[in-house]
Structure 1
Amino acid sequence: MLLLVSVVYTLALVIASLITLNGVPSLGSSFDDKIFHVVAYIGLSFLWVYYFKPFKTKQIPYIVFFVVVLLGFILELLQYYVNPNRTYDTYDFIANTIGAIFGTFIAIQLNVFKLK
């Protein structure tokens, strides 16, 4: 079940990253977009670290972090090439990376994945 949730979340994030989004709710700040990126990537990295918990390998959180950051970078590049209404934004990539850091860190701190 967790694999399904993780895959669906990932696919939803990929699709949302590549389509033109209209009517996204405003949080009332000038950097709403960056907040959405951070939160989305917290969820993404947390779900995948949690999914791989049974593997009990110390490297899993680091691998998940690397893959999530790489996915964020690839999606930012694809936005530029796939959708003329979207652009590459280095600050979005930085927000994605911050989200991946926090998601991985939260998973480790909540003892979802114990590093011993």
Structure 2
Amino acid sequence: MKINPTVFRWLAIAWTIVMLIGCLTPHEELPGELVELNDKMLHAAIFAPFSILWILAGVRMSHTLIAGILLGGLIEVLQYILPINRSADWIDFAADGLGVLLGIGLAWAVQKTGVVAG
């Protein structure tokens, strides 16, 4: 059974919104479990599904790469300028990019299985 890309489009939109809310929530309002996790691994872990979902929704890998990098940069800029007790970090931005690349690789592998329609 093949999965329709529309399902992935809605999941990608929802995941992107969740990412933005999570990354722009004031630090003191985050659950303790999230704060205790390795921050860099967490950045990579949230950007990998971003890439996977958008690619499986039908967005080109190159466009997803650009969008992921721009989103990671935007998040870091917003963490710097907004009064949310969060700090911008170049290494977080690099971890975002690594997560995007990991997600692209995983999405490519999933597409090769033929499970996704399109």
Do these two structures clear the TM 0.5 threshold for a shared fold by scoring above it? yes
Give the Cα separation in 2 of the matches to 1:14 and 1:73. 12
Structure 1: 5+ residue stretches without partners: 54-59
Which residue number corresponds to residue 52 of structure 2? 46
Q: Which residue is equivalent to 1:111?
A: 111
Cα displacement string for residues 20-46 of structure 1 (whole angstroms, at most 9, x for unaligned residues): 1433316977xx111111110001011
Deviation digits for residues 39-76 of structure 1 (CA, Å, limit 9, x no counterpart): 100010110001016xxxxxx10111111111010111
User: Do the aligned partners of residues 80 and 63 (structure 1) sit closer, same or farther apart at CA in structure 2, a change above 3 Å counting?
Assistant: same
Question: In structure 2, the residue corresponding to 1:52 is in which secondary structure?
Answer: coil
**Of 3, 8, 23, which residue of structure 1 is paired with 2:9?**
3
C-alpha distance in 2 between matches for 1:36 and 1:72: 13
Q: Secondary structure at the match of 1:88?
A: coil
Structure 1 stretch 7-16 or stretch 81-90: which is displaced more? 81-90
Report % sequence identity: 24
Deviation at 1:84, TM superposition (A): 4.0
Residue 31 (structure 2) aligned to one of 23, 35, 41? 23
SS at match of 1:11: helix
- 1:35 aligned partner: 41
CA contact (8 A) 1:50 1:113 kept: no
Contact 1:18–1:83 (8 Å) recurs in 2: no
**Alpha-carbon separation, structure 2, partners of 1:100 and 1:73:** 12
Extract unaligned runs of 5+ from structure 2: 1-6
TM-score (norm 2): 0.79
